[in-house]
Chain A
Amino acid sequence: MIVLSGVKKRFNGKEALGRTDLTIEGERCLALVGPSGSGKSTILRLVLGLVSPDEGTITIGGDVLDARTAAAARLRMGYVIQDGGLFPHLDAEDNAVIVARQNGWSPERTKERLAKLIDLVGLSAEHLRRYPVELSGGERQRVGLMRALMLDPPILLFDEPLAALDPMIRVRLQEDLRRIFRDLKKTVLFVTHDLTEAAFVADEIALLHDGKLVQKGTLAELMAQPKDAFVTEFFQAQRLQMPAGDGAP
């Protein structure tokens, strides 16, 4: 469980995140949705300990996150960004195992884990010897997912992972991600600006606007009882009919 209580963050004098309370339940997937600059990536970076809050505290599994504990906390989180965030000079395998190697895993243990993950993310062994530039966008994202899952962390963080992919590949990856989240019982924070995607992969949606949490709930709840005009507007902009019909899981 990840808990943000009273967290505030400013960058260069500009408010990136207003006072926010947010709880991500264990083994559940919460999607952070909102337009650019709404504060969703800031929440992700705060949880990773890449930036520290000006006010408030963040706890992960009950432990308070601070500069001292951030490094250890990151090893309990897998992180995936747009286009996989792969290092171009390393092949797929070296990208996937870089942290395991740093942490002194034996070659056998690494190999075993890798074999399991290849199947899980839907790649084959020959992909492992390819460099990022030799992989398709979807394949890169699957390697990024392997890297995030390598240490089998309880928490997964995604920052617009599928934004650069074409629709067909995107749909297949969404299906695979949803299956993986549920099968592996991970606690997931999933940043996207696409409501349909959020509704499909996540259990709940947190809608953000101008650095503030506007509403949190299932897609059905948000559609049935929009808290304010922005929620309605955002739904309409994404061409989702109000009130909600079906389609939402």
Chain B
Amino acid sequence: MTGMHVVRSLAIALGLALALGAKGAAADVADPRGPAVTVGSKGFPESWILGAALTALVEETGGARAVHRKNLGGTEITYQALRAGSIDVYPEYTGTIAEVILKRRAKSPAEMRAALAEAGLAMSDPLGFNDGYALAVTESTAARASLHSLSDLKAHPEIRLGLTHEFLGRADGYPGLARHYGLAMREVRGVQHELAYEALARGQIDAMDIYTTDPQIEKLSLVLLRDDLGFFPRYDAVLLYRRDLATRAPAALEAMTRLVGRIDEKIMTRANAAVALKGVSAEEGAQELLGDALGESPRPVGSASGDGQGLAARVLRNVTRHLELVGISLLLAVLVGVPLGIWAARSRSVALLSLGGAGLLQTVPSLALLAFLIPLLGIGTAPALVALFVYGLLPIVQSTYTGLNSIPSALSEAADAIGLRPGTKLRRVALPMASPAILSGIKTSAVINVGTATLAALIGAEGLGNPILQGIALRDTGLILEGSVPAALLALVVQGAFSWLDNLLIPQGLRLSTRLP
């Protein structure tokens, strides 16, 4: 009876997950025309604004449908999404293309274009503004150490730097800067960019890397250190797009390139300030930008992440999406992990291989895993599900293996001796006896995945990570809470749901034995 219970409950769970999955898939293909042009943007407001502006310009042509995959993350993830064809175009900077994407194989614009063409990509002429790197300090630090230029840092190795991980790793970032200026700073730490403002304001760091169009410069009264020895390359904003766009959607491409030469630093900084400081949406910021740059204002367009809905509707949608991601990936992890654990319990070599393999995968950082998956699966739901599946696997394989192996050998032998066939023994004896361990492994996976799934927003899979990432980028505590409070509650609900599942699935006889002394 208990065996039937397990089978029936798994069947119900499977049906539910498939229904949810089908619903998710259906949403992706809702428009019969399909999205003709997919615009991407990186993980900061300036990129969102430009992405929204490009989307609006394409929609304005009337001939093509545009979708904005907003807030995809860093260069690596966004560029891989472009290579994989998940997006068609996104705003990028010449300095980033030369250093990060082409890895300094090309210097002049002509060389860069040729190198990009090999990858099936193209870049537009500059949009007009330079969003270069600079190091910023607070006014008081600048006064205290009389810092005006980067050369002045040489005399102050005690100045504490809080730099983005990307800046720390790029040749044209800190390593090159330190060499160029002969710096030997004592404390250099990797800090997420938006958190670095907070750290700077609180005096936990003294200097941070910053973009020259950053609206916070004015708000926090930061002093930019002059690049007196000319180290930083130019970061002219351009459109990076797939070459086939010129033939697939020429009108859309033409509409987007109208921005070339039209956005200067002033226009960009103003739009950045509106979004990052005044709480205006990226789409509204884009309208302002287009008005300033082209002297006109196309009809407003909502983004794929659907700003401008009510709070309750947004939270509900994000929670639903989050549950879909966690539910489907967990189900896959159970369907693979439990059989793998059973197999491992029977064969030593399989045990070594599967536990070792799953353990190894567990140690791959989530961002690295996502970056690996994008070339294979593009962006969106698929790579997020695979990543969550991978992280969910180990606890389930491990607990199934341990649960089966901890059945007393006398009982295991008795099952053989009384004439149970291997299949009956597994179904009626081994799995029910191991069920408390297996369920606790599945619970661990579920709770881990509720947390990890927030990262899925980095690759456009949305969920509760979306408001969190946007909130961090905008330094908007309300938005951060909008994602993190439901995520925390969800983790509690998952815990509760599993206590209920324990009662349903763990045979009564086993629950009695753990309660009695």
For A79, give its contact among B417, B507, B512, B516 (CB under 8 Å).
Answer: B417
Q: Per-residue 0/1 for A81-94: is the Cβ within 8 Å of any B Cβ (1 yes, 0 no)?
A: 11001011111001
Cβ of B416 under 8 Å from chain A? yes
Which B residues are CB-close (under 8 A) to A48?
416-417
B477 at interface (Cβ–Cβ under 8 A)?
A: no
Contact of B433 with A50 in the complex, beta carbons under 8 Å:
no
Residues in chain B near residue A163, CB distance under 8 A: none
B162-202, CB under 8 A of A: which get 1 and which 0? 00000000000000000000000000000000000000000
Knowing A131-B509, A133-B513, A133-B516, the reply to whether A85 touches B411 (Cβ < 8 A) is yes
Q: Name the residue among B509, B510, B512 with the largest chain A CB count within 10 angstroms.
A: B509
> Would you give the 0/1 interface string for A137-167, flagging 1 where the beta carbon is closer than 8 Å to chain B?
0000000000110010000010000000000
Cα distance, A189 to B1, chains bound together (Å): 33
Is B105 positioned at the interface, with any CB of A under 8 Å from its CB?
Answer: no
A115-151 residues with Cβ-Cβ distance < 8 A to B are: 131-134, 147-148, 151
Query: Looking across the interface, which residue of chain B has its beta carbon closest to that of A148?
Result: B418
Is A220 an interface residue when CB atoms closer than 8 A count as contact? no
- Residues A27-45 near B (CB distance < 8 A): 45
Minimum C-beta distance from A67 to chain B (A): 13
CA of A133 to CA of B512 in the docked complex: distance in angstroms?
7
Q: Closest CB-CB distance, A40 to chain B, in whole Å?
A: 15
Alpha-carbon distance A157/B419, docked complex (angstroms): 13
CB-CB under 8 A for A98 and B420, given A50-B413, A85-B411: yes
Q: Which A58-74 residues have a C-beta within 8 angstroms of B?
A: 71, 74
Q: How far is the CB of A154 from chain B (nearest CB, A)?
A: 14
CB within 8 Å for A99 and B509 given contacts A81-B414, A85-B411, A87-B411 = no
Interface residues of B in 394-433 (CB under 8 A from A): 410-411, 413-421, 424, 428-429, 432-433
A126 to chain B, nearest CB (A): 16
- A79–chain B nearest beta-carbon distance, Å: 4
Chain B residue numbers with a CB within 8 Å of A134 are 512
Q: Does B508 sit at the interface, judged by CB under 8 A?
A: yes
Within 8 A of A (CB), among B478-517: 507-510, 512-513, 516
Smallest Cβ-Cβ distance to B508: which chain A residue: A131
Q: Which residues of B contact A78 (CB under 8 A)?
A: 418
Contacts of B2 in A (CB 8 A): 89-90
Quick check: B417 and A74 within 8 Å, CB to CB?
Answer: yes
Indicate which residue in A79, A90, A133 contacts B418 across the interface (CB closer than 8 Å): A79
With an 8 A cutoff between CB atoms, is A106 at the interface?
A: no
Given A50-B413, A94-B1, CB of A87 within 8 Å of CB of B429: yes
B509 contact from A71, A75, A89, Cβ within 8 A: A89
Contact of A147 among B413, B418, B432 (CB under 8 A): B418
Complex Cα spacing A85 to B407, Å: 12
The answer on a CB contact under 8 Å between A74 and B429 is: no
Of A48, A133, A157, most B-chain CB atoms within 10 Å = A133
- Any B CB within 8 A of the CB of A12: no
Q: Whose C-beta in chain A lies nearest to the C-beta of B1?
A: A94
A71 contacts across to B, CB distance below 8 A: 419, 421
Inter-subunit contact A102/B414 (CB<8 Å)? no
Residues of A within 8 A of B507 (CB): 89-90
What distance in Å separates the Cβ of B51 from its nearest Cβ neighbour in chain A? 56
User: CB-nearest residue of chain B relative to A98?
Assistant: B428
Q: How far is B432's CA from A85's CA once the two chains are assembled, in angstroms? A: 16
Chain A residues whose C-beta falls within 8 Å of the C-beta of B432 in the assembled complex = 87, 89-90
**Chain A's nearest CB lies how many Å from the CB of B431?**
10
The complex places the Cα of A131 from the Cα of B418 at a distance, in Å, of 19
Task: Find residues 183-227 in chain B having any chain A CB closer than 8 Å to their own CB.
Answer: none
B410 touches A85 (CB 8 A): yes
Question: Across the interface, do B418 and A88 meet the contact criterion of CB distance under 8 Å?
Answer: no
Q: Which of B411, B414, B508, B516 has the most CB of A within 10 A?
A: B414
Cα A87 to Cα B411 in complex, Å, equals 7
Given A81-B414, A87-B433, are A75 and B419 neighbors across the interface (CB < 8 Å)? yes
Contacts A87-B429, A94-B1, A98-B424 given; 14 further ones with Cβ under 8 A? Answer: A45-B413, A50-B413, A85-B410, A88-B510, A89-B507, A89-B509, A89-B510, A98-B418, A102-B420, A131-B512, A131-B513, A133-B509, A148-B418, A151-B419
* Chain B interface residues toward A at CB < 8 A: 1-2, 410-411, 413-421, 424, 428-429, 432-433, 435, 507-510, 512-513, 516
The 7 closest A-B pairs by CB, nearest first: A89-B507, A131-B509, A85-B414, A74-B419, A79-B417, A89-B509, A133-B513
Interface residues of A (CB under 8 A from B): 45, 48, 50, 71, 74-75, 77-79, 81-82, 85, 87-91, 94, 98-99, 102, 131-134, 147-148, 151, 157
Q: Report 18 cross-chain contacts, Cβ distance below 8 Å, ordered by A residue.
A: A74-B417, A75-B419, A77-B419, A79-B417, A81-B414, A85-B414, A87-B411, A88-B509, A88-B513, A89-B435, A90-B428, A90-B432, A91-B509, A98-B420, A99-B418, A99-B419, A102-B424, A134-B512
